[in-house]
């Protein structure tokens, strides 16, 4: 009896603790489940209601968006939201405003708008720096001429962008857009190689004479017979990104001055 009296309260406490633990765990699970449900549904709600203030910013700052019809605008907006929900944008030495987020997301969405598969699985975060920076992402280093950077090794999964250059890329129409430029490098690298041949886009479409056109245009450039900016001459991969910037920023001019390349780029980007 003593033993029973002695053990009973302990057992009772044990059972009480066990019950409390079960209740706590169940409650935590339910809270977790509810938050998952809420988050999932809040994303859907956001996708269905693209904020008007965001739309106004796109209309004002993203010429490519402005020229789209209503259906494509809706597709563009949904992709902007998906991108911003998935990728982290971090400011280093600078704030990240809504406009910066929208310009970065637009740079990601524009090159692949013609495709149903359009994600950037290798990209994890975008690091925004105030101005141009050095190879080691230091804006104060003496050699700081970079406006954007992606790569492999320690750079894998990261994109560095100068905020100043990102903004001016969308404000001026000089066929330079660093946001587009860096995302075009990612499109190029999706097949495992940064080589100026976007296999992902041209696969199974043997009709696209991509390399022939690239080499013809690079030749013209070296003879001073092309209005492409000099940087396109540096390599096949830079040619792709510079041509892409031109194609998405000034399609009418490209069509007029480089009709063959324009036709090929339309096929490559399916736009």
The residues of the shown chain that bind Zn ion, judged by CB under 5 A, are 241
In the complex with Zn ion, the residue whose CB is nearer, 113 or 159, is 159
In the complex with Zn ion, the residue whose CB is nearer, 189 or 241, is 241
In the complex with Zn ion, the residue whose CB is nearer, 99 or 166, is 166
In the complex with Zn ion, the residue whose CB is nearer, 25 or 155, is 155
In the complex with Zn ion, the residue whose CB is nearer, 179 or 268, is 179
Q: How far is the CB of 125 from Zn ion (least distance, A)?
A: 19
In the complex with Zn ion, the residue whose CB is nearer, 226 or 241, is 241
Q: How far is the CB of 209 from Zn ion (least distance, A)?
A: 23
Residue matched to tokens 């597709």: 75
Q: How far is the CB of 240 from Zn ion (least distance, A)?
A: 9
CA–CA distance, 13 with 7 (Å, rounded to integer): 10
Q: How far is CA 92 from the centre of its chain?
A: 18
Q: How far is the CB of 76 from Zn ion (least distance, A)?
A: 24
Q: How far is CA 7 from CA 13, 19, 20, 182, in A?
A: 10, 18, 20, 70
In the complex with Zn ion, the residue whose CB is nearer, 107 or 241, is 241
In the complex with Zn ion, the residue whose CB is nearer, 102 or 184, is 184
Q: How far is the CB of 128 from Zn ion (least distance, A)?
A: 18
Q: Which regions of the chain does DSSP assign to beta strands (E)?
A: 88-91, 125-129, 148-149, 158-162
Q: How far is the CB of 231 from Zn ion (least distance, A)?
A: 8
Decide if 246 contacts 228 (C-beta within 8 A). Answer: yes
The two beta strands, 158-162 and 125-129, are: parallel
Residue 109 CB burial class (10 angstroms; 0-12, 13-18, ≥19): buried
Residue 91 pairs with which residues in a beta bridge?
128
Q: How far is the CB of 185 from Zn ion (least distance, A)?
A: 6
Query: Which residues touch 47 (CB under 8 Å, ≥6 apart)?
Result: 78, 81, 82
Decide if 181 contacts 245 (C-beta within 8 A). Answer: yes
Select from 126, 177, 95, 147 the least CA-distant residue to 139: 147
Q: How far is the CB of 243 from Zn ion (least distance, A)?
A: 12
List the end-to-end C-alpha distance of the chain, in Å, as a whole number: 86
CA–CA distance, 128 with 167 (Å, rounded to integer): 11
């Amino acid at each position: 009896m003593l033993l029973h009296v002695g053990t009973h309260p302990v057992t009772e406490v044990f059972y009480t603790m066990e019950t409390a633990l079960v209740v706590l765990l169940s409650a935590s699970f339910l809270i977790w489940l509810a938050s998952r449900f809420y988050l999932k549904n809040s994303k859907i709600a956001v996708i269905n209601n693209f904020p008007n203030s965001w739309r106004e910013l796109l209309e004002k700052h993203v010429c490519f968006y402005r020229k789209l019809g209503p259906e494509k605008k809706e597709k563009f907006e949904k992709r902007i939201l998906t991108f911003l929900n998935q990728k982290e944008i971090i400011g280093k030495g600078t704030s990240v405003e809504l406009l910066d987020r929208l310009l970065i997301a637009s740079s990601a969405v524009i090159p692949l708008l013609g495709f149903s598969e359009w994600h950037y699985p290798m990209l994890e975060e975008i690091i925004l720096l105030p101005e141009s920076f050095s190879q080691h992402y230091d804006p104060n280093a003496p050699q700081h001429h970079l406006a954007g950077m992606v790569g492999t090794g320690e750079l894998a999964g990261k994109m560095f962008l100068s905020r100043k250059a990102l903004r001016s890329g969308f404000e001026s129409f000089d066929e330079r857009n660093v946001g587009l430029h860096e995302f075009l490098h990612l499109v190029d690298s999706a097949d495992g190689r940064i080589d100026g041949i976007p296999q992902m886009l041209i696969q199974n479409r043997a009709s696209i004479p991509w390399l022939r056109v690239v080499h013809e245009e690079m030749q013209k450039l070296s003879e001073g017979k092309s209005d492409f900016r000099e940087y396109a001459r540096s390599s096949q991969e830079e040619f792709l990104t510079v041509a892409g910037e031109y194609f998405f920023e000034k399609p009418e001019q490209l069509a007029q001055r480089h009709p063959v390349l324009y036709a090929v780029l339309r096929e490559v980007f399916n736009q």
